[in-house]
Structure 1
Amino acid sequence: MGHGAAELGFAGDFQNRTARQMSCVENQEYPHNSFCCKNCEAGTYVKEKCSRDQEKGICAPCEKGTYAEHPTGMEQCLQCSQCHRDQIVVAECISTSNTKCECKPGTFCLPDEPCEVCKKCSKCKADEEEVSRCTATSNTKCKKGNSPPTEGPTDKPLASNNTNTIAIVVPILFLLIFILLGIILYKRYQRQLSSMLKILFYYLSEEEQENTHNAGLERKEGQRPESRPLLTQETQETGTKSIPVEDEDRGLGDSLPNTTSSSQTSLSPLPPAVYNEESPQSSPPAPRQPEMVTEPWAGDDGPPRRLVPVLGEEESLSKSFDLFDSLDVRYHNKFFRSIGVSDNAIKVAETQQPMDKVYDLLRVWMQKEGLRANINTLLQALLDLDQRYSAEHIASKAVERGYYKYE
């Protein structure tokens, strides 16, 4: 009977301790095992917890740089805070209180807001007077006439200021847009006018060249009967007298570059003049060839001769770019696309004069190709576009000026 009562008493005591553990007083006690320990005082921490209910364990003072502002059951103190750059230290950190900071003079931070960055104090306007100065926790307060005090002008700008700003900015923006559109339209008109004039000049010069060519043929036809074969009958009729080569060249030779500029035919040397074999006294003068071609670059059917740089690949190629000004303006974009120049680069170059456009796009192609850049690639591209005369003209001029030589 006594043993049973003892067991009941032990069970009741254990239940009471469990109940107490679940209801330890906040900020005064902390739970440990199945009972509550008393908190250590402010400025200390729990170094060793208690071994009995309602006792205090071993407490130790906070180390330097740490603090405990209230009684605590923690096993270490809190780290002291550091003030921000725009704040000053009002009170140093001690074992029972954290560091106290406030904004530097001229700045403020409202107490009901997290002070991450201090704001600059406002200044009253000329027609306002200061009601209270700016402090570390409040902004400047101003009033205008009999109106109630308001925050400084930098916090809440007036609606009238915004209206005035819009009234000034909007007309300026419209003026700038109008000027920009005018410049764009003028540039576009200038480019179109330049292209039209160049095409018109091209067709006029082509017609003039054709007229000159026809006039030369008419002069020749007047010098011989129509019923006789061209040169052979004339030499038979005159016996030992041969047709002067200068007259023959003047009729067709001078007009050769003009006719080839429109038809893009080959610039192969002219055939030698026909003369009578019965006249051994004096040999006929050599036929005059176009000045630009000293050697044929390519036959009518054979492959073109390869050009080899004389001044070094890059220098010879750069100096030859000016020769490409003779390209037909109608073939510019086709030519540059065929050698790999992007449409974007061609559009950018359209704003320039045709000669500058050709030079700049060739420079773009040269930078893109690097060491692979070669004048033979450009000449082959012209041949692929049926621009044989332009290719022969450029090749012969490059050799004549000493930039290249035939391989």
Structure 2
Amino acid sequence: MVPVIIALIHVGHGAAELGLAGDLQNRTARQIICVENQEYPHNGFCCKNCEAGTYVKEKCSRDQEKGICSPCEKGTYAEHPTGMEQCLQCSQCHRDQIVVAECTSTSNTKCECKPGTFCLLDEPCEVCKKCAKCKADEEEVSHCSATSNTKCRRRNSPPTEGPTDNPSASNNTNTIAIVITILFLLIFIPLGIIFRYKRRQRQLSSMLKILFYSLSEEEQENSRNAGLEREEGQRPESRPLLTQETQETGTKSIPVEDEDRGLGDSLPNTTSSSQTSLSPLPPAVYNKESPQSSPPAPRQAEMVTEPWAGDDGPPRRLIPVLGEEESLSKSFDLFDSLDVRYHNKFFRSIGVSDNAIKVAETQQPMDKVYDLLRVWMQKEGLRANINTLLQALLDLDQRYSAEHITSKAVERGYYKYE
């Protein structure tokens, strides 16, 4: 009887062990589901999360228990109850942001853009964008803040949000404008053509009158000269002087010496007048063409000095006056003078990615240059220097832009020459 009882006990223990093993096997086989944000799975059961500001130093050994929790170390935080074995690292604000709230064990560092820049709330704040300025014919509706851009609207006009209240009035205005434009074209264009035609006719008639008068005067002069020639042929005075004198005096003639003597008084005057008219110009007139004289252009070129970059040596380096970061940030506005056609080449040459350039293409050229220079400064960190940007412009043959930016940066007191 006793052996039978012992055998039954062993059978019971075996069945219990088989039942427990089967339960564990079934529980492992099915997925463990713990309450989100309150529990975390461990060894087939759920442990309770540690409170905010702490982390799990040692996990629990039984279901629905809390393990050993430890406070977050300095520079780390946990905003919510967590089952992680370490706290999160506190964030660092970017160079174009300011710290609004320091990091604590239960909250991360809070940053916002510096005054004059903004980042939209629904976008990741990689780089703070420059606030827009209203145009001359616009007025400011709302100021720029750290999370919103400036909002403007045209002066003396209601906001343009939504459809207009009276569509027919707008259509009538458009129709009137079109009619006025057509009338203007139909009236003033023909008047302009007629005016030009009459003006050309007047010019042509005046030219014909001048030509006719000149021909008439020439014909009259020719007729007058022909009449004089006929009269001279009929008069005895028109015959040679020597023949007349021979006839009057018979065989008596004037000797050649006397003729020379008679003309002698007039020869010196004629000679002197000829020398005066053919005498060379004063030497001072020909000084400009003389080989010994140096042209004025080279002398002017020698007086021009290059304050920043010379032809024989490298450009002079610029040293920040207000601190490296502040001087560099203030000088970004000076790069608006860069030729738009060289924007993408310039930013690729200084290491800005094509993705960042593509994102900035939707903005105005001034905002695009400013934002991409900000991206470049964030990427370079402490290595960011204005001399790198100026050298990149020289490599692209943009010497005028580099000299203009340099002179303005020195003039405004951002930099000085080394």
Report the TM-score, using the length of structure 1 for normalisation: 0.36
Q: CA deviation at 1:30?
A: 1.7
Q: CA deviation at 1:166?
A: 29
Q: CA deviation at 1:7?
A: 3.1
1:296-328 superposed Cα distances (whole Å, 9 cap, x missing partner) = 999999999999999999999999999999999
Q: Which residue, 369, 390, 400 being the options, matches 2:380?
A: 369
Farther-moved stretch of structure 1 (174-183 vs 134-143)? 174-183
1:109-166 superposed Cα distances (whole Å, 9 cap, x missing partner) = 1111111111111111121111111111001111114656589999999999999999
More helix per residue? 2
Cα distance 1:216–1:159, how it changes in 2: closer, same or farther (>3 A)?
Answer: same
Cα distance 1:89–1:210, how it changes in 2: closer, same or farther (>3 A)?
Answer: farther
Farther-moved stretch of structure 1 (150-159 vs 3-12)? 150-159
8 Å contact 2:127–2:374 — kept in the other structure?
Answer: no
Cα distance 1:48–1:286, how it changes in 2: closer, same or farther (>3 A)?
Answer: closer
Which residue pairs with 1:169 in the alignment?
179
8 Å contact 1:67–1:77 — kept in the other structure?
Answer: yes
SS of 1:370's equivalent? helix
Q: CA deviation at 1:23?
A: 1.3
Q: CA deviation at 1:24?
A: 2.2
SS of 2:141's equivalent? strand
Unaligned 5+ residue runs, structure 1?
none
Which residue pairs with 1:103 in the alignment?
113
8 Å contact 2:129–2:371 — kept in the other structure?
Answer: no
8 Å contact 2:58–2:67 — kept in the other structure?
Answer: yes
Partners of 1:279 and 1:247 lie apart in 2 by 50
8 Å contact 2:127–2:375 — kept in the other structure?
Answer: no
8 Å contact 2:57–2:68 — kept in the other structure?
Answer: yes
SS of 1:101's equivalent? strand
Cα distance 1:182–1:152, how it changes in 2: closer, same or farther (>3 A)?
Answer: same
Farther-moved stretch of structure 1 (368-377 vs 100-109)? 368-377
SS of 1:199's equivalent? helix
8 Å contact 2:127–2:371 — kept in the other structure?
Answer: no
Q: Which residue, 240, 248, 256 being the options, matches 1:229?
A: 240
Q: CA deviation at 1:103?
A: 0.7
Partners of 1:371 and 1:254 lie apart in 2 by 99
Q: CA deviation at 1:55?
A: 1.1
Partners of 1:248 and 1:313 lie apart in 2 by 102
8 Å contact 1:122–1:155 — kept in the other structure?
Answer: no
SS of 1:276's equivalent? helix
What's the % identity of the aligned pairs?
A: 93
Q: CA deviation at 1:14?
A: 1.3
Q: CA deviation at 1:22?
A: 2.2
1:360-386 superposed Cα distances (whole Å, 9 cap, x missing partner) = 999999999999999999999999999
RMSD: 24.7
SS of 1:286's equivalent? helix
8 Å contact 2:287–2:293 — kept in the other structure?
Answer: no
Farther-moved stretch of structure 1 (61-70 vs 278-287)? 278-287
Farther-moved stretch of structure 1 (136-145 vs 296-305)? 296-305
Farther-moved stretch of structure 1 (217-226 vs 98-107)? 217-226
Partners of 1:334 and 1:295 lie apart in 2 by 26
Residue 130 in 1 paired to residue 140 in 2? yes
8 Å contact 1:27–1:72 — kept in the other structure?
Answer: yes
Q: CA deviation at 1:88?
A: 0.8
Unaligned 5+ residue runs, structure 2?
1-10
1:48-75 superposed Cα distances (whole Å, 9 cap, x missing partner) = 1111122111000000100011111111
Partners of 1:396 and 1:254 lie apart in 2 by 77
Q: Which residue, 57, 73, 86 being the options, matches 2:83?
A: 73
Q: CA deviation at 1:249?
A: 49
Q: CA deviation at 1:36?
A: 1.9
Cα distance 1:125–1:243, how it changes in 2: closer, same or farther (>3 A)?
Answer: same
Farther-moved stretch of structure 1 (240-249 vs 65-74)? 240-249
Cα distance 1:301–1:30, how it changes in 2: closer, same or farther (>3 A)?
Answer: closer
Matches within 5 A, 1:80-91: 80-91=90-101
8 Å contact 2:39–2:83 — kept in the other structure?
Answer: yes
Q: CA deviation at 1:260?
A: 48
1:190-224 superposed Cα distances (whole Å, 9 cap, x missing partner) = 99999999999999999999999999999999999
Farther-moved stretch of structure 1 (327-336 vs 133-142)? 327-336
1:249-278 superposed Cα distances (whole Å, 9 cap, x missing partner) = 999999999999999999999999999999
Partners of 1:290 and 1:36 lie apart in 2 by 87
Report the TM-score, using the length of structure 2 for normalisation: 0.35
Farther-moved stretch of structure 1 (288-297 vs 111-120)? 288-297
SS of 1:142's equivalent? strand
Partners of 1:16 and 1:321 lie apart in 2 by 67
SS of 2:301's equivalent? coil
Partners of 1:153 and 1:206 lie apart in 2 by 79
Which residue pairs with 1:296 in the alignment?
307
Residue 150 in 1 paired to residue 160 in 2? yes
